Amino acid sequence: MQMPVPRADVIAQRARLFEQLRAVLPDEAVIVDPTETRAYECDGLTAYRCPPLAAVLPATTAEVAAVLRICHAAGVPVVPRGAGTSLAGGALPTADCVILGVARMRDVLETDYANRFIRVQTGRTNLSVTGAVEADGFFYAPDPSSQLACAIAGNIAMNSGGAHCLKYGVTTNNLLGVTLVQMDGTVVEIGGPFMDAGGLDLLGVICGSEGQLGVVTEATLRILPKPEGARPVLIGFDANEVAGACVSDIIKAGILPVAIEFMDRPCIRATEAFAHAGYPDCEALLIVEVEGSDAEIDEQLGLIRQIAERHNPVEFRESQSEEEARKIWLGRKSAFGAMGQINDYICLDGTIPVSELPHVLRRIGELSKQYGLDVANVFHAGDGNMHPLILFDANKPGDLETCEAMGAEILKLCVEVGGCLTGEHGVGVEKRDLMSVQFAQADLEAQMRVKDVFDPMWLLNPAKVFPLAASEGRRG
């Protein structure tokens, strides 16, 4: 994977840069020692690493603005970093960049139940936003798998989703306002504790812009009342196609589950060996979760059972207790960990129209044979967001490259059937060079013009999202 050549002039001037940064931040918030900057050399996409010139950890919006003003004046690229859990390399540094981490900005600034919002500093983790309001019966809906660790800043940058977004939407549907610091240090307030934009929907384009338009330091998030209850069922099938048809029938019946998760046989076997959740040994299984009062849950599950039975399930397991509900989710939630135990893997994130599920799974099976690498499928079936895990051996020369080539084939397939490259992880560096598969030049041009407005010098996370050849004339 190619990255821009680090700017020698920036690196040569580093002593002066460090001095300027130390003038606006406490000493411990400016990290320049090469043994310490290594902690920032990669994010969740660990195959690629590069220590930054420096890492800074400001504690306030004013400090963020001061850092950005300095870097702007000196022409130094800045890579914003939330908790560093990106699977797409969104926070991967270059050797000439300053990593701007929000890890010290974790405060809750305001909680307002009457108006149902919370305002936080964006270094706060996703789960601890819910943690701040759950005792009062509320929660923050987007729930990426990494929610224990990932920061709101990164959630906003990538427009993160999660298992429950079929009902509650993704980050952009739950974000009301941001404090954004532009690369030149200008601080802007966009949106707030009200429900729409007065002019152009700038908030909508900031969310999901992968840290390329500004650094979001504070966010106003919509919080929701917790449901009375929730209960999952597990349904096993003897073919992927049948499971796919069942998903479609559930949706057409007017039921809106909060989650519909899908696992195929390789994934079921691996997680079963790891987590012992007691899953049936079958070709495909669905976990469907519904919410409401006990009676409402019973009614919805009754309908789901009727629909499932038309598809001859090999298993229909309702949970009769908290413990059984936990076990139904256990395998799904440990799927990624389980795969990591047996192999190195890369996790894809393409989305497809739900109707294309059987075809795409069949093609993935064929590609798996062709490339000689195993694939396990686990994904959000209700919205077509797939997570094929391609297994490889990092110690075997050439295996990673084979794996990436196969991943690219699968993502092209997703686009070909009417879907997209990434449903919730973001483009980062991982899918950057595939953007031209999904978008024509005019489409990319329109997006890059947005960056031209927010960051005319292209200093913020410049080597991400757009193919390097497409952004070349814009980057310094």
Helical segments of 356-440, H only = 357-371, 399-416, 435-438
- The DSSP output letter for 420 is B
CB 193 within 8 A of CB 176: yes
- Count helices and strands (H / E) in the chain: 18, 18
If one asks whether residue 240 binds another protein (CB under 8 A), the answer comes out as no
- The DSSP output letter for 6 is P
Residue 117 CA to residue 110 CA, distance in Å, equals 8
Task: Determine which residue in the list 2, 109, 110, 137 makes contact with another protein, applying CB under 8 A.
Answer: 137
In this complex, which beta carbon is closest to another protein, that of residue 298 or of residue 374?
298
In this complex, which beta carbon is closest to another protein, that of residue 51 or of residue 89?
89
Residues 6 or more apart whose Cβ sits within 8 Å of residue 401? none
**Shortest distance, CB of residue 182 to another protein, whole angstroms?**
8
**Shortest distance, CB of residue 95 to another protein, whole angstroms?**
26
In this complex, which beta carbon is closest to another protein, that of residue 296 or of residue 399?
296
In this complex, which beta carbon is closest to another protein, that of residue 344 or of residue 356?
356
If one asks whether residue 419 binds another protein (CB under 8 A), the answer comes out as yes
If one asks whether residue 431 binds another protein (CB under 8 A), the answer comes out as yes
Name residue 336's amino acid.
F
- Residues 375-404 within binding reach of another protein (CB under 8 A): 380, 383-385
User: In sequence order, what E strands does 311-439 have?
Assistant: 315-318, 344-347, 375-380, 388-392
If one asks whether residue 200 binds another protein (CB under 8 A), the answer comes out as yes
Name the one residue in this structure whose structure tokens are 């076990």: 327
In this complex, which beta carbon is closest to another protein, that of residue 131 or of residue 193?
193
Residue 395 CA to residue 404 CA, distance in Å, equals 15
Helical segments of 259-321, H only = 265-275, 294-309
Among 9-17, 27-35, 199-207, 305-313, the segment contacting another protein (CB under 8 A): 199-207
Among 39-47, 56-64, 111-119, 369-377, the segment contacting another protein (CB under 8 A): 111-119
Task: Determine which residue in the list 13, 173, 343, 402 makes contact with another protein, applying CB under 8 A.
Answer: 173
If one asks whether residue 295 binds another protein (CB under 8 A), the answer comes out as yes
If one asks whether residue 172 binds another protein (CB under 8 A), the answer comes out as yes
Residue 126 CA to residue 157 CA, distance in Å, equals 13
- Residues 25-84 within binding reach of another protein (CB under 8 A): none
In this complex, which beta carbon is closest to another protein, that of residue 446 or of residue 469?
446
